[in-house]
């Protein structure tokens, strides 16, 4: 009996980042997805490539007072101030629930004010099971020290990444700031210091003022701008970084549709992170996975990994 003709081949959405196999390239970004457990009743976490938890510090942090969020044209300002429960509480209170989930890749975002802070936080997390990798946040523009300073000075970036690499027992992803003169230079510094991958871009330093009260819209005065407004700049920076380093690049910045994700991959990203879109639609990440799949079907793309860096330049 002659077997029936086979249908079209299902697209293979698998990608590999920093030695970690992801079922697809869509990752929920840190700071917009809580600790993951808050979304398990809204999003099928096992349908995502992975997610990055809120930035974790050695000790709990209260963050900035409100107002901390403000909507702008095609974007959002935020100055949360890296509010978090601390690494130990995360291990005790959040991680056990995440470990019960099957086929879910959990990435821990790590923050510190000093190199020793990063070192201590990583050593605490090293003792816990269920974390696939660390994302080193050296790029937050909403803190009075640490964060942006590490991500904008090559020497400091080299020192903090080298310190983290020395202590880390897991793959190390370095999240870069766009608030620099040369993103390519900072990407190269991170790679040479031992990063297994880089993620970019974090938010752009920005602000808003209420003309009636003459006061800033955000209590911290300045804040980080994210959302569709930053996408063209983020896309260019991902392209610049990917042309410079050999390690995988995770792209982010204004991604809200499957086509956005495809564009970042064509620019050189191996995977992408979705952040602000989750604020207006908590199901955005899962929807984008579906849109990426359909795009690959419509464009007869058998393996999505083949799109990385495949932009055609005449």
Q: Which residues pair with 207 in a beta bridge?
A: 222
CB atoms within 10 A of CB 24: 23
Q: Containing domain of residue 299, as a range?
A: 15-307
Is 2 inside a domain boundary?
Answer: no
**Whole-prediction pTM value?**
0.94
Phi, psi of 68 (to 5 degrees): -120, -10
Is residue 64 in a domain? yes
Tally of domains in the chain: 1
Residue 9, in any domain of the structure: no
Closest by Cα among 206, 237, 200, 185 to 73: 206
Q: What value does the mean pLDDT take over residues 156-174?
A: 95
Go through 32-46 and write b for each residue having 16 or more CB atoms within 10 A of its CB, e for each that does not.
Answer: bbbbbbebbeebebe
pLDDT band for 82, please (50, 70, 90 cuts): confident
| Domain membership flag for residue 211 | yes
DSSP symbol at 3? P
Task: Assess if residue 288 is contained within a domain.
Answer: yes
Judged against a pLDDT cut of 90, whether residue 47 lies above it is answered with yes
Q: Is 283 a catalytic residue?
A: no
Asked if residue 129 is part of any domain, the answer here is: yes
**Residue 8, domain member (yes or no):** no
Catalytic one of 17, 48, 85, 140:
140
| Lowest-confidence pick of 59-68, 247-256, 263-272 | 59-68
Average pLDDT for the chain: 93
Residue 264 lies in a domain: yes
Tell me which of 84-93, 105-114, 137-146 is least confident: 137-146
Angle at 107 between CA 264 and CA 24, to 5 degrees: 45
CATH code of the domain in which 93 resides: 3.20.20.70
């Amino acid at each position: 009996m002659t077997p029936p003709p086979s249908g079209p081949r299902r697209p293979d959405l698998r990608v590999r980042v920093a030695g970690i196999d992801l079922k697809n390239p869509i990752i929920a970004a840190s700071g917009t997805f809580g600790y993951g457990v808050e979304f398990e009743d809204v999003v099928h976490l096992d349908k995502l490539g992975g997610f990055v938890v809120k930035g974790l510090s050695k000790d709990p942090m209260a963050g900035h007072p409100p107002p901390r969020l403000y909507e702008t044209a095609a974007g959002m300002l935020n100055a949360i101030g890296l509010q978090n429960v601390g690494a130990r509480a995360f291990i005790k209170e959040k991680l056990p629930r995440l470990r019960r989930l099957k086929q879910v890749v959990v990435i821990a975002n790590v923050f510190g004010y000093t190199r020793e802070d990063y070192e201590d936080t990583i050593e605490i997390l090293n003792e816990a099971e269920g974390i696939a990798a660390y994302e080193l946040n050296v790029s937050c523009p909403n803190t009075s020290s640490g964060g942006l300073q590490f991500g904008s000075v090559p020497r400091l970036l080299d020192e903090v990444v080298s310190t983290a690499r020395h202590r880390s027992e897991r793959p190390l992803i370095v999240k870069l700031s766009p608030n620099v003169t040369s993103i390519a230079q900072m990407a190269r510094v991170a790679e040479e210091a031992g990063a297994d991958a880089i993620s970019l871009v974090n938010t752009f330093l920005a602000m808003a003022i209420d003309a009636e009260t003459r006061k800033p819209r955000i209590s911290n005065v300045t804040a980080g701008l994210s959302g569709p407004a930053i996408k063209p700049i983020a896309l260019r920076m991902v392209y610049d970084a990917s042309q410079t380093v050999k390690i995988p690049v995770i792209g982010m910045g204004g991604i809200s549709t499957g086509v956005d994700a495809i564009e970042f991959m064509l620019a050189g990203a191996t995977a992408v992170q979705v952040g602000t879109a989750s604020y207006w639609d908590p199901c955005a990440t899962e929807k984008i996975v579906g849109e990426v799949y359909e795009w690959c079907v419509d464009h007869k793309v058998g393996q999505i990994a083949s799109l990385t860096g495949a932009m055609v330049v005449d």
